[in-house]
Structure 1
Amino acid sequence: MVDQRLLLSSVCDFATWEPVLRLMLADDSERRAARSARVAGRISQTGWSLAHRGSMSSTARIGVEDVQRALARGRVQEIAFRAEAQPDGRTTLGLVWPCPAVEAAIGYPDLGVLILADGSLPEPWLRRPDPVPGAVPAPSADLELLERTLRERLPDAIGATEQEIAAAEARLGVTLSEELKVLYRVTRVDWGDDFEEADRAGEAVGCELSGLDDLYGVDAAVRHPGWALGATDAVSTAPEAAVQGLAGSPGWIGFGSNGGDEFAVDLTPGPAGHFGQVILVDHEQSLGAELVADSLTDFVLGRVQEKRRDRRGDTFPAVARVGTGCLETIHAAAHPALEVLSIGAWDGTPFSLAPVAGLPRLRTLTALPGTLADPLEVAGLTGLEFLELGAQEWRVLLDAGAVPRTLKAAAIKVRDQDHLPVVAIANEILALWDRPQIVQALLAGDLGPAV
């Protein structure tokens, strides 16, 4: 196997990075105050994420492009970097190669999320719909009116046969609603044969309509936004909810779109919903769906919901935030329904985790560096699947052999610390799960004293 570090020999030359580092240190107030300055960012073959405001000089742009060309030669999509410059100009630059076990960071200063189990998803994206044995169609569902309206709008359409509808049900593993069957008995919609007919069918129904063979169940995994965001989210279904708080369901049968979002017939409605209601799955959201119409009949006739209902579940008691401006004690966060505990900025006495030890649903803990009184209390959280701590807190857990083995993903939070040792700690965590290691190169150079 070719060592990518050899292919990237030019990108491992400190001189290649000087224009980029000088750009990011243009407002060098830290070094002028006799303190070291830290910068971090990412450069890919097609873009970059650099903490710099204002226009980029031609010299800096050439420097970025030099790095991009080196990445292309080495067949590497992206490289992360972190640098610390001393007041006298001595600079340490760390380069981090992409690793299949690391999910790229959303905020550039952080290493990213360590994926400890291939294909793993946070619990909300694994949740299945609750049974709805008593769900019935809405009173507005009118099969005769629906068919008559569609045939008036599509007098020459060719519908699907009963065998074709049965084949679609077998493929999807569900029994379609009677309204959806009526729709496809009128028009089977074949985009491959007649685009004009498909367009007319879409206009008649009120959306860009999918063909019978293209019906699909909304897959929760497709909506997963990554562990960095997903681990701290939660969903719930209130007793008055029309739509279950899910990322997806085999009973959400996608039948069309508005050009970006998906319309689905809901066969697994919420407690206050109706079997066969029409919902909207927003492409900008990763959880939940909105009720659009109580029935497909309503949808086709334009009788849609004006008021959209709250679909979020990431509120207390499922999610609790402790720290300045939030809850001020862990006791206040402790609740049997607690799933996510986030400890933010706090100037007071560090927190004990004892009040939440053993909670049955607690799966995520994030804590800023220095906010835990005793990191070893993490061992009392027996159901953790995601853990984000500072480097020193991880060091305590690693040295004590106390890293929870229930974890599916983990992250190291950096705040006012040297970024470079984080990779070594991350590799220790990855090694516990026999995961691929992160490769780091350390370079030294001199940028000269601050101006």
Structure 2
Amino acid sequence: MVDQQRTPAASIDDFATWEPVLGLLLAEQRRRHPDGPVRVVGQIGRGSWSLDLRRRMPPPGRAAQVEDMQEEFDAVERVQSALADAGVDQVSFSANIQPNGKTVLRLLGPSPAVEPGLGTPHPGALILVDGALPQPWRRLPEPARDAVAAPSADRELLERTLRERLPDAIGATEEEIAAAEARLGVVLPDELKALYRVTRARWDDLGDDYEAAQRAYEAVGCELLDLDGLYVADASSRPCRWEFAAMEAVETPPHSEVQGLVGSPGWIAFGDNGGGDRLAVDLTPGPRGYKGQIVMLSHEENAGAELVADSLTDLVLGRLSTERRRRAQGEQPSAVARVNVASLKSVQAAAHPGLEVLSIGYWDGAPFSLAPVTGLPRLRTLTAYPGTLTDPLEIAKLTELEFLELGPADWRALLDAGAVPRSLSAAAIAALRDHDPLPIVAMANEILALWGRPQIIQTVLDGDLAPLA
């Protein structure tokens, strides 16, 4: 049954708002399917959109120009303005258009319990427990009570070197440093204080002098954040969609200099390498690390940090770490296992007591039984490409799952049998791109209802487009 709740603003609910977009999609379908009714789907957000439109190629020798897609831009902007007015970030839609132009448009969303799909009108992850986070994002560092500073840490040498390199820099006052500590709720380490006593790294202090900025970069070894830009790089500073975050696993082998974490209350981010990767002072090092070592958080990774230097002094003096630890033979296999045509060839090969994440991808052979992973104590994530499971009801025996992604048929089997694991915190439906979004949304609402979560709103609009010629 369609929920007739309305989205917040009347402009979104006005068929005229959507007419230009639907007209473009209908014209595209006319070229492909000149006869009969058509179905068009899409997704429009405030800053992006996904529509099945074939864009016109520019003349030979000329790059694409805005005017080549002006009609599409104008049509989408009309919807985006309505979204902004309504305070809605993104809406998916599905429209059935008859040959006489009669159109039934269904707007799908939003729901506070559903992440938007990525470039698809299908819903993203379903958040079944309000505020739930994947296990790696809940993990805190082990105490590093016995950790000591590196022998190379030398506050006086650091400060003297920086003053020689930056004789005209304006340093932070003790009051400014104290204010930063109060804001962060942490006492800054001595080396970091020494650095900011030399330069407070404010762009205003440079007077738009880009050469001075470059000298500062070379003097410190990174683009330094000013005191107001300092932040604690805990797990909340690395937000991640559930379907990606659930696939991560973090671990700290005994030989590690850096703890395996998404973020830490002991990582104080103070700089950038110029490519979007953040540098942080690490006050919660791994078993073989130093307190106050410098680590880098890659913007291309959701978790983990890499050792850069044993101390801030080493960073400034260019004494960078070149050691790269590799998994030694005989250690435990990875906590994340992928079974597909290009990786492991069986679930049995993936099974071991430390397994946390099992991803069964595209497979062109016989489907798999989940018996080999039944009873594993740490298995918390299972994703299975449609058609890869012998019996989806075996999932009921995986009692520690917090995230489950399945194809529609496997979800149907679980729902009909009342066997959806109640341990789940989030879930996802692996719909293929050509799947009609309406039954996928209906199934998502069934799953959400099991946890009493807000449904995906469906708003139905009737209208007329130009009839097919």
- Alpha-carbon distance in 2 for matches of 1:190, 1:51: 47
1:303 and 2:303 correspond: no
The corresponding residue for 2:64 is: none
Which residue of the partner structure matches residue 118 of structure 1? Answer: 130
Question: Which of the residues 271, 275, 296 maps onto 1:280?
Answer: 296
- Per the alignment, residue 130 of structure 1 pairs with 142
Contact kept, 8 Å, 1:110 with 1:413, in 2: the verdict is: no
Which of residues 236, 244, 247 in structure 1 aligns to 2:262? 247
Q: More displaced, 46-55 or 391-400?
A: 46-55
Q: Give the superposition deviation at 1:213.
A: 6.2
Partner of 1:8: 12
Give 1:439's aligned residue.
457
Give a deviation string over 1:65-92, Cα, whole Å, max 9, x none.
5544554565544321245789999987
Distance 1:106 1:308, change over 3 A: farther
Alignment partner, residue 48 of structure 1: 49
Call closer, same or farther: CA 1:23–1:43 in 2, change over 3 Å: farther
Q: 1:81 aligns with which of 93, 118, 133?
A: 93
Q: Is the 8 A contact 2:92 2:121 kept in 1?
A: no
Q: 1:180 is matched with which residue?
A: 192
Deviation at 1:251, TM superposition (A): 1.1
Are the structure 2 counterparts of residues 43 and 310 from structure 1 closer, same or farther at C-alpha, using a change threshold of 3 Å?
farther
* Match of residue 428, structure 1, among 446, 462, 465: 446
Deviations 1:427-451 (A, max 9, x none): 11112222111122457889988x9
C-alpha separation between the residues in 2 aligned to 1:169 and 1:193?
A: 22
Structure 1 residue 241 displacement after superposition: 3.1
Partner SS for 2:438:
coil
Task: State the shift of 1:175 in Å.
Answer: 5.1
Q: Which residue of 249, 274, 290 maps to 1:234?
A: 249
**What is the rounded CA distance, in whole Å, between the counterparts of 1:26 and 1:288 in structure 2?**
50
One-letter identity of the residue aligned with 1:357: T
CA RMSD of aligned residues (A): 4.0
Q: Structure 1 residue 252: deviation in Å?
A: 0.9
Aligned length: 442
Q: CA deviation at 1:364?
A: 0.9
How far apart, in 2, do the equivalents of 1:307 and 1:364 lie?
A: 32
Percent of matched pairs sharing the same residue = 56
Q: 2-side partners of 1:133 and 1:151: how far apart? A: 33
Q: Is the 8 A contact 1:188 1:212 kept in 2?
A: no
AA in 1 matched with 2:262: A
* Counterpart amino acid of residue 150 in structure 2: A
Aligned counterparts, 1:58-77, within 5 A: 63-68=75-80, 71=83, 76-77=88-89
Aligned partner of 2:200 in structure 1 is: 189
User: In structure 1, what residue type is equivalent to 2:347?
Assistant: I
SS in 2 for 1:338: coil
Aligned partner of 2:63 in structure 1 is none
Query: Does the CA-based 8 Å contact 1:19-1:59 persist in structure 2?
Result: no
Residue in structure 2 matched with residue 351 of structure 1 by the alignment: 368
1:91-240 map, 5 Å: 94-153=106-165, 158=171, 160-161=173-174, 172=184, 174=186, 176-184=188-196, 186-187=197-198, 189=200, 191=202, 194=205, 204-211=219-226, 215-240=230-255
1:410 — aligned with what?
427
- How far does residue 191 in structure 1 lie from its aligned partner after superposition? 4.0
* Distance in 1, Cα, partners of 2:456 & 2:301: 31
Which amino acid in the other structure matches residue 225 of structure 1?
C
**Cα shift at 1:290:** 2.3
Aligned residues of 1:317 and 1:335 also touching (Cα < 8 A): no
Unaligned runs of 5+ in 2: 57-67
1:225/1:286 contact within 8 Å kept: yes
| Counterpart AA for 1:147 | E
- Checking the alignment, whether the CA contact within 8 Å between 1:263 and 1:280 is kept in structure 2 is yes
Q: Does 1:366 align with 2:348?
A: no
Provide Cα deviations, 1:155-194, integer angstroms capped at 9, x if missing partner. 5755654x8767765665555433234334x347284985
| Alpha-carbon spacing, 1:4–1:249, altered in 2? closer, same or farther (3 Å) | closer
Q: 1:35 to 1:363 in 2, by over 3 A?
A: farther
SS in 1 for 2:266: strand
Pair 17,310 (structure 1): closer, same or farther in 2 beyond 3 Å: farther
In the alignment, is the contact (CA less than 8 A) between 2:223 and 2:272 conserved in 1? yes
Does the C-alpha gap of structure 1 residues 40 and 366 become closer, same or farther in structure 2, counting only changes over 3 Å? Answer: farther
Provide the residue aligned with 2:309 in structure 1: 293
Say whether the 8 Å CA contact 2:404–2:427 is kept in structure 1: yes
> Structure 1 171/70 Cα, relative in aligned 2: closer, same or farther at 3 Å?
closer
CA contact (8 A) 1:11 1:67 kept: no
Contact 1:121 1:221 in 2 (8 A): no
Secondary structure at the aligned position of 1:249 is classed as coil
Question: Aligned to 1:427, what secondary structure does the other structure show?
Answer: helix
Counterpart residue type for residue 127 of structure 2? I
Indicate if the aligned counterparts of 2:50 and 2:119 stay in contact, CA closer than 8 A: no
* Residues 448 and 455, structure 2, Cα contact 8 Å, conserved in 1: yes
Q: Report the AA paired with residue 128 of structure 1.
A: L
Q: Would the alpha carbon gap of residues 357 and 12 (structure 1) be closer, same or farther in structure 2, given more than 3 Å must change?
A: farther
Q: Kindly provide the amino acid, as one letter, of the partner of residue 273 in structure 1.
A: G
Aligned to 1:20: 24
